[in-house]
Amino acid sequence: MTDKALRTPAALVDAGLAPAEELRALEAVAARYAMAIPPAIAALIEPADPNDPIARQFIPSPAELTAGPGESADPIGDDAHSPVEGIVHRYPDRVLLKLVHVCPVYCRFCFRRAMVGPRGRPSLSRAQLDAAFAYIRAHAEIWEVILTGGDPLILSARKLRDIVSALAAIDHVRVIRIHSRVPVAAPERVTPALVRAVRAAGRATYVVLHANHPRELTAAARSACARFIDAGVPMLSQSVLLKGVNDDLDTLGALMRTFVEARIKPYYLHHADLAPGTAHLRTTLADGQALMRGLRARLSGLCQPAYVLDLPGGAGKVPVGPTYLRREPADAAPHSYRIDDLCGQPHVYPPADG
């Protein structure tokens, strides 16, 4: 397949997606962090809109060269929990298996931006992959393996089939989860052969789609997702809360509804990580909690993701959504609670007698 992705700032300028006067500044960004914008994504960008939410996710910005407080090249501590190359074992019953460190499109907010791309870490060698499988076989507590990277769906169907088959042959691995942007960024890659490759008899396979704006769910993207779902591979979503992209209730709600209409269950809404040069894209936790309250008040329960934060340094993912359970009033009966309803009005539960 011919690679028609835009991979340099000069290509962005030639395509009319960046002004010529910014070329030198954008080249400085691209020298530090990978960029690639495939045709499916480039077609979504509105060059005349200086605040276009698609461009904001993928077009480099000079702001990326400014490091903010607390930012880190490994903001969620992958390396601290990596017993062998390619494995991250942060939680008892599951591991990440990072097969590759390249993607069809590079997000400007990526928390692994210092590790991915043509100048990033190499893909796993055969020996490293065998060592990763050996680690998984030796740890019977591992129930789920999450294929990530990079984007595992850039692998050939044959390579992916071999990896999924090897994992399915490990008795205690019951679930295989694949995180990808491919159905959105390169939907043509989701061929019948690729769909067959991710399935394994006797094992549950899930594909988790990363998308952040409803415009990303084009007809081609929805068709690619349908090929997985119609073949019996359930899909979930993960999104990142991003300033100027989806940090208003109408856009975020439309995104969640678009997922559900495509038979994709909203799973995670990530608070943006402290990756270097991404402060201009992060919201506050208070803003995120307010948006989650709005989603709960407006939309079906099917449309509710878990709002989560990966604690810096590797302490793990925790829910940070709003709480509706408040301290019981000082004069209340024992074991009673004050609970806010969806309009923010407090109620005592159980109700007082009389």
* Residue numbers annotated as active site: 90-91, 94, 103, 107, 110, 112, 273, 310, 317
Other beta carbons less than 10 A from residue 39's beta carbon? 13
Nearest to 206 by CA among 166, 172, 164, 241: 164
Taking the C-alpha atoms of residue 321 and residue 303, their distance in angstroms, rounded to an integer, is 14
Distance in Å from the first CA to the final CA of the chain: 73
Taking the C-alpha atoms of residue 293 and residue 255, their distance in angstroms, rounded to an integer, is 16
Other beta carbons less than 10 A from residue 8's beta carbon? 14
Q: Burial level of 100, CB count in 10 A (0-12/13-18/19+)?
A: buried
The 3-state DSSP class for residue 239 equals strand
Phi-psi region of 77 (alpha: psi -120 to 50; beta: other; left: phi over 0): left
Burial code (b: 16+ CB inside 10 Å, e: under 16) for 254-275 equals bbbbbbbebebbbbbbbbbbbb
Q: What dihedral do alpha carbons 238, 244, 250, 254 form, nearest 10°?
A: -40
Q: Give the H or E element holding residue 179.
A: strand 175-180
Neighbouring C-alpha atoms within 13 Å toward the C-beta of 311: 9
Instruction: Scan for tokens 């060592």, then name that residue.
Output: 131
